[in-house]
Amino acid sequence: DRAYASIISHTELFLGHFDNEQRNQRDHKVVDTENVLGNFEERLIGYTEEEVQTEASRCMSCGLCFECDNCIMYCPQDAVFKVKKDKATLGRYVDTDYSKCVGCHICADVCPTGYIQMGLGE
């Protein structure tokens, strides 16, 4: 479910996981004042296919899991596990066995997208 509640602020991301890349600035056409009225042509020049792919690669999946498996690797209690393929949904690939979880927050700390939020014990 990609409801607005699942999208998180950039301040909650683990930015150490992402490269600091500049975004592509779109060019625009300048129309002189005499020709502005009645001119309905596009002024912003669209991205090329390569520029679109570069911009898309900058996506940080805010609040959605993208299967980096950091949480699974770093959980000392093996409480975090992969969701079976038939139960997985877009942006949800891991789950937690709360009978094993001790609330150490390591999974949340290493999650680059902020998908894991520790709220049960707080």
The structural domains of the chain, ordered by start, are 1-17+61-122 (3.30.70.20), 19-57 (no CATH)
Strand (E) or helix (H) holding 70? helix 70-74
Distance between CA atoms of residues 38 and 16, nearest Å: 49
Name the β-bridge partners of 89: 92
Q: pLDDT per residue over 4-46, tens digit each?
A: 445 677 777 777 777 777 777 888 888 888 888 988 888 888 8
Question: What are the φ/ψ torsions at residue 73 (nearest 5 degrees)?
Answer: -65, -40
Distance between CA atoms of residues 32 and 36, nearest Å: 6
What's the pTM? Answer: 0.59
Q: What separation in angstroms does the CA of 68 have from each of 33, 35, 94, 110?
A: 52, 52, 10, 10
- Mean predicted lDDT score pLDDT of the chain: 80
